[in-house]
Amino acid sequence: MLKADCASCVGLCCVALAFARSADFAIDKPAGDPCVNLADDDACRIHDRLRPSGFRGCTVFDCFGAGQHVAQSTFGGASWRGDAGLRRSMFAVFPIMREVYELLWYLNEAVALSPRLEGGLGDEVLRVLAATERIADGAPAEVLGTDVATHRDVVVELLGRVSEALRAAAPKPAGKRHKKVGPRSDLMGARLAGADLRAVNLRGSYLIAADLQRADLGFADLIGADLRDTDLRGADLSTALFVTQPQLESARGDALTRLPPMLHRPAHWI
């Protein structure tokens, strides 16, 4: 399951990870220290009011299901509480597993899109997905010994080819494109309301506070795009590629924003 199930976890994201006081977090917290809002039953005391309490960063974090996998599968239902050795191991495994599960999210989307792929590319996606699942299913020592950075490079390169193939076959804008639009573009605050951005490669782009109201993002590649405070009201992302829930949680949208079927409308959207 590639969706966080906090009830089946042991508060790993609230303990293992560090965060710094900022617009996203009201306090500093070192890695390995429990958050002050974490209750003894591993639930968050302020889960229903995180944003007004100054913990916006918690609402845009998603482990993609890594937390419950580490707790229930990798460590067989054990808790980090009361065992220093287990605590160190579990906290070391969790960030790696979270990265692996993010890769699984993208690869599963690529599998869902594989009927559109030709030339054996779909089969390659399945092979890399299986290799990624083997990493996730490893024992703690195996996970810690995995060169995830190298594997991530393999996945990223493959997803790039998947994106290129899908965008090449997708409908494209009839007119000229915005000259600054492209991969890793600096589009902070850009005025792109109503823009036709179909099949555009926006991977890794900075779209912070950009105006994308009513924009058409059909088959646009948004992997790694920074959508903090991006205005997506009325925008069409229904067929956009490689969008994640954290990206949506960091953006602004409304009831008219069209989303990919595997994602849900953030609670704070109007």
Give the separation between CA 212 and CA 232, rounded to whole angstroms: 5
User: In the chain, where does the domain assigned CATH 2.160.20.80 lie?
Assistant: 173-270
Q: CB neighbours of 164 closer than 8 A, spacing ≥ 6?
A: none
CATH topology of domain 173-270: Pectate Lyase C-like (2.160.20)
The token duo for 44 is 């968050």
- CA distance linking residue 37 with residue 47, whole number of Å: 9
Instruction: Check residue 270 and give its pLDDT.
Output: 85
Position 206: which residue type? Y
Give yes or no for a contact between 266 and 248, defined as CB atoms under 8 angstroms apart. yes
pLDDT of residue 99: 98
Task: Give the pLDDT of residue 224.
Answer: 97
For the chain, the first-to-last Cα distance in angstroms comes to 28
Q: What distance separates the 2 farthest-apart alpha carbons in the chain? A: 63
The pTM (predicted TM-score) of the whole model is 0.95
pLDDT score, position 178: 67
Please give the pLDDT value at position 180: 78
If you write DSSP's letter for every residue of 129-189 in order, what string do you get?
A: HHHHHHHHTS-HHHHHTS-HHHHHHHHHHHHHHHHHHHHHHS---SSPPPTT-STT-B-TT
**Predicted pLDDT at 149:** 97
User: What does the alpha-carbon distance between residue 146 and residue 150 come to, in Å, rounded to a whole number?
Assistant: 9
Q: Which residues contact 2 (CB under 8 A, 6 or more apart)?
A: 64, 65, 101, 104, 105, 108
Per-residue pLDDT of the chain (270 residues; tens, 9 = 90+): 799 999 999 999 999 999 999 999 999 999 999 999 999 999 999 999 999 999 999 999 999 999 999 999 999 999 999 899 999 999 999 999 999 999 999 999 999 999 999 999 999 999 999 999 999 999 999 999 999 999 999 999 999 999 999 999 999 887 766 667 889 999 999 999 999 999 999 999 999 999 999 999 999 999 999 999 999 999 999 999 999 999 999 999 999 999 999 999 999 998
> Is 200 within 8 Å of 218 (Cβ atoms)?
no
